[in-house]
Amino acid sequence: DIQMTQSPSSVSASVGDRVTITCRASQGVSSWLAWYQQKPGKAPKLLIYAASSLQSGVPSRFSGSGSGTEFTLTIRSLQPEDFATYYCQQANSFPYTFGQGTKLEIK
């Protein structure tokens, strides 16, 4: 199975900051990588698919990059509604696997 490791596990930032979250795969997943945002008590929301494609309706301050084994999610100019937990997920091969999550907190 492909293991997905996110770093950091948590990060504190202020409104207006730029934040980068990294996701590493234990083996190459090409561009089969998605990013999700989840708020407490809510279902996840798809932000990025195919490593760098922005899902419809998602603000352009979110961007994804990478291929193979290393990926990043960047949020520029953090807004109050961005404070949440973020997950990466590989879809290169079954079983699909998620990273452990990165909690983005207000500083």
Partner 1 sequence: EVQLVESGGGLVQPGGSLRLSCAASGFTFSTYYMTWVRQAPGKGLEWVSYIISSGTSTWYADSVKGRFTISRDNAKNSLYLQMNSLRAEDTAVYYCATDRGPYSSSPNSGAFDIWGQGTMVTVSS
User: Given the rule CB under 8 A, which residues bind partner 1?
Assistant: 1, 32, 34, 36, 38, 43-46, 49-50, 55, 87, 89-92, 94-101
CB nearer to partner 1: give 13 or 54. 54
Q: First and final CA of the chain: distance in angstroms?
A: 36
CB nearer to partner 1: give 17 or 38. 38
CB nearer to partner 1: give 83 or 96. 96
The sign one gets for the Cα dihedral 23, 53, 93, 37 is: positive
CB nearer to partner 1: give 63 or 100. 100
Query: Would you list the DSSP string of the chain?
Result: ---EEEE-SEEEE-TT--EEEEEEESS--TT-EEEEEE-TTS--EEEEETTTEEPTT--TTEEEEEETTEEEEEE-S--GGG-SEEEEEE-SSSSPEE---EEEEE-
> Smallest gap, in angstroms, from Cβ of residue 94 to partner 1?
4
> Smallest gap, in angstroms, from Cβ of residue 37 to partner 1?
12
> Smallest gap, in angstroms, from Cβ of residue 27 to partner 1?
16
> Smallest gap, in angstroms, from Cβ of residue 14 to partner 1?
25
